Structure 1
Amino acid sequence: MRTTTARRTRALITLLAAGALAFGVSGCDGYTATSPAAARKGAPAAGTAAFAQGPDGAVDCRHVKCVALTFDAGPSVRTPQILAILAKYHVHATFFTLGKNHVRVHPEMVRDMVAQGHEVETLTWSHQILTKISTDEVRKEITEGRDAVEKATGQRPTLLRPPQGRTSAKVTKVAKELGMAEVVWSANGADYKTTDSKLIASRILKQTKPDGIILLHDLVDPTNRGYNGTVASVAPIISTLQKRGYTFVTVKQLLAPGKPVAGKVYK
């Protein structure tokens, strides 16, 4: 059983690493992205519940330097460590979860994410590359990943991170039909390539700008080639960016008072 699980994990890690590298070099399969600033522009005023809560009250990212921290591919046995760090720094993040071998295996961790005020969304059911499968398969991957989170938490995700950041007109059409908006990233720690937490943090700190969306992974690598430096990078990333004047928010808070629109891709 352990051998089978390790093999599945190694296969997933290979897909994640190859995809993130390909995304960084060649981009996605083609889409028009909407920036958080564009999502907020012209949006009607909203109640304070739409915004992040800072030390001095509600934080409006139209006037405050905001950044969203996101984690892909969990939950895993590392999740409690990540949640503890986020709690220490009073930061809320967005988790894009996998259904098959993660949400289904660790539903209690997904409930802990929600209980602590984090956003829990979907990275699909089994991390198939959506641009390489049929329309029916795309719909199945998104629906089953979304439903796994809803079963565990009672809350239905409305945000989709397409695996490897790859989307297309076909994928976007299905996402729109399912009421899902897509979210990619602007800062990538490339934690799939190294176990060096200082290097991971350095990459994020160099890439992060206001309205940024940070990509890290909530995953364990049994080959010890990558991801195993991620947890130790989280605190330095948060503390340094906070010292630089950034406020950490969830993806939906980053877009507020605008709201995610089904069928759009946010970056």
Structure 2
Amino acid sequence: MPVNARIRRSRTLFAVGTAVAAVLAVAVNLALTVTTYDHTSPRAARDKASGSVGGNVDCRKAKCVALTFDGGPSLTTPRLLDILKQEDLHVTFFVQGKGHIAKYPEILRRMSDEGHEIGNHTWTHKRLTDLGVADARRELTRTQDAVEKVTGTRPVLMRPPEGRTNREVSEICRDLGLAQVLWSVTAKDYETTDSALITKRVLDQTRRDGIILLHDLHKGTVPAVPGIIRALKQRGYTIVTVSQLLAPAKPQPGMAYRP
């Protein structure tokens, strides 16, 4: 075979090999991202359930969206609670232990006393998927114990930091009686203090049966809440807690709910 022909053949084989390697890499990446835990959407869970809905909101009929706040309680939370009380709304708070429950137990007590739903957001906000089983369990149980000590009730919902979960985390949650709650709307309010931008991001992403994620501890968030509430109501949404969004289904321990 002439030298030039051999060179062309080598280049062709190299190109083919590179393309095959790229395809295999994509396949491996897809395999790694396959969900390994049980999950469902709030709507699917609700539609499979039977029975009546307690309270005055039935999200099988109403255009519902759940409003949730992570990372509190903190010094900004009382102003948020004032707004929610004025609007006669209840939301779900996923509270954190160290520096929050431990520092502001009276604010947590007020959340509970005013009828808001309290969920678990771990003790130190570490990624549970990066921890061993014992440490991940401790992150959740310490917060469970702290919430119960202040409010008299143990949470049945949790939100994994950064939304990171897997089969091991799900099994821990099942043992602890905790359902996992992810989200469909994020304003990324941890990266901006612009309340108008936070409002726009929420409204651009919100759809029926969605779950909105905000953080009441960030500077721009609480000032954005009145406008968010007003705009959602104008668009026909009923703002509810996560459990109200699921009803008549009950949160199932270990299950991950994501719209």
Is TM > 0.5 for Structure 1 vs Structure 2? Answer: yes
Structure-1 residue corresponding to 2:60: 62
Structure-1 residue corresponding to 2:11: none
Structure-2 residue corresponding to 1:12: none
Structure-2 residue corresponding to 1:22: none
Contact kept, 8 Å, 1:64 with 1:247, in 2: the verdict is yes
TM-superposed deviation, 1:47: 5.0
Contact kept, 8 Å, 1:28 with 1:166, in 2: the verdict is no
Structure-2 residue corresponding to 1:192: 190
Q: Partners of 2:108 and 2:145 in 1: how far apart?
A: 13
Contact kept, 8 Å, 1:28 with 1:167, in 2: the verdict is no
Q: Partners of 1:265 and 1:77 in 2: how far apart?
A: 30
Contact kept, 8 Å, 1:29 with 1:131, in 2: the verdict is no
Structure-2 residue corresponding to 1:254: 245
Instruction: Determine which of 171, 176, 179 is the counterpart of 1:178.
Output: 176
Contact kept, 8 Å, 1:187 with 1:208, in 2: the verdict is yes
Contact kept, 8 Å, 1:189 with 1:201, in 2: the verdict is yes
TM-superposed deviation, 1:91: 1.2
Structure-2 residue corresponding to 1:33: 39
Partner deviation per Cα, 1:159-213 (whole Å, 9 max, x = no partner):
0100111001110011011111000110001101110000001000000000110
TM-score by length of 1: 0.82
Partner deviation per Cα, 1:197-249 (whole Å, 9 max, x = no partner):
00001000000000110000021xxxxxxx21111111111100001110011
The unaligned stretches of length 5 or more in structure 1 are 1-26, 50-57, 220-226
Q: In the comparison of the two structures, how many residue pairs are matched? A: 226
Q: Partners of 1:135 and 1:128 in 2: how far apart?
A: 13
Instruction: Determine which of 132, 137, 146 is the counterpart of 1:148.
Output: 146
Partner deviation per Cα, 1:74-107 (whole Å, 9 max, x = no partner):
0000010100111121111100000121111111
Larger radius of gyration: 2
Q: Partners of 2:76 and 2:253 in 1: how far apart?
A: 31
1:235 matched to 2:233: no
Question: What does residue range 86-165 of structure 1 map to in structure 2 within 5 Å?
Answer: 86-165=84-163
Contact kept, 8 Å, 2:148 with 2:154, in 1: the verdict is yes
Partner secondary structure for residue 176 of structure 1: helix
Instruction: Determine which of 48, 52, 58 is the counterpart of 2:54.
Output: 48
Amino acid at match of 1:201: T
Structure-2 residue corresponding to 1:79: 77
Contact kept, 8 Å, 2:53 with 2:247, in 1: the verdict is no
TM-superposed deviation, 1:31: 4.0
Partner secondary structure for residue 75 of structure 2: coil
Q: Partners of 1:146 and 1:202 in 2: how far apart?
A: 34
Q: Partners of 1:139 and 1:79 in 2: how far apart?
A: 27
TM-score by length of 2: 0.84
